[in-house]
Amino acid sequence: MSLHAQYLESFLRSQFYMLRMDGPLPLPHRHYIAIMAAARHQCSYLINMHVDEFLKTGGIAEWLNGLEYVPQRLKNLNEINKLLAHRPWLITKEHIQKLVKTGENNWSLPELVHAVVLLAHYHALASFVFGSGINPERDPEISNGFRLISVNNFCVCDLANDNSIENASLTGNNFGIVDSLSELEALMDRMKRLREEREDEEASQEEMTTRFEKEKKESLFVVSGDTFHSFPHSDFEDDMIITSDVSRYIEDPGFGYEDFARRGEEHLPTFRAQDYTWENHGFSLVNRLYSDIGHLLDEKFRMVYNLTYNTMATHEGVDTTTLRRALFNYVHCMFGIRYDDYDYGEVNQLLERSLKVYIKTVTCYPERTTKRMYDSYWRQFKHSEKVHVNLLLMEARMQAELLYALRAITRHLT
């Protein structure tokens, strides 16, 4: 993140506030909730970090044996942790009622908002960790099964300089530099064309709706590694072996984002963004129940949405607004969130298939992200630019989870 210093400052401010400053929840509980959230994606990097913090802040060591050792109250967060992480559109006011009206184990609304902010933050942060290759990757040849991966054959410390990286994967590929250069030119060309078309004509509301529904439906079938097409379900799960040290912090480990799309049993409803926006609804609710965190989150969302250096790979002076918006809105589209004033045709124009596979994987099942996926999109772009993409995906995901959870809390209140 230090490749984007402005953003990092904003990120650390909000994370410090939710973990360390005055708030409804006791410090050890905050770290335990972080562990529960990271465990949904088997993110051992974050789990280990917060196990240490949990103990340092006076947490009861026995809780680290698993959920059956924690107070019922914390255990009751299981369901909302699971839904927020994988299918936030299923969260209803009934889930909220259950948590706030369970006798001696009930949650106050400020406590619940604090917990929800932590859960969403750590689900999204797991996406960033896996997307940027920070989590140790399983390696059967090493005795303890873990090795730290280095992105693009450079140690992570080199990445901070970001200047020596001419995408290392290029040399190993059969594509020449020429291919990926023409890829870059073509993308810039499409961005320019979209800007011009937008000035010329506006699509009708019906057409805009159709484009969104089409994109939403297609996004369900964009799958990591394209393995689903050739293998039955069971073969795909070989790489999903959940280690017991992680599974003790969650229930129903098999529950994920993708299985409803494949079975086609469940319909992903559309959440009309203007009916419940972060700016007009979510922000004020969070601020009312858990003071100041709303401002810090808002600053972080704005920061990432507007962050730009006006460069694309080797080109300078480029307006990347359309591209940044397509990335952010595509994540929301995968969670069923639709912006009326956005033309989802742009997503198709700007995001190539390998990038869509990467976005879907990092956002919906980050534990399956591979270095190959990371290398396969935008081959001319600098590592810092791909980290920038990961920041956008992380914040878009966090905001989507918050919108669903806060909407349910608002409905509970009304």
Provide the annotated active-site residues: 43
Enumerate residues 6+ apart whose C-beta is below 8 A from 48: none
Q: Is the dihedral of CA 206, 208, 211, 217 positive or negative?
A: negative
Name the pairing type of β-strands 337-338 and 315-316.
unpaired
**β-bridge pairing 146-147 and 271-272:** unpaired
Helix (H, G, I), strand (E, B) or coil at 315: strand
8 Å CB contact between 294 and 280: no
What residue has token string 């069923």?
336
As a whole number of angstroms, the distance between CA 48 and CA 246 comes to 10
Q: Please state, in angstroms and rounded to a whole number, the distance separating the CA atoms of residues 112 and 329.
A: 27
Provide the β-strand partners of residue 7.
none
Can you list the alpha helix ranges (DSSP code H) found in 132-152? none
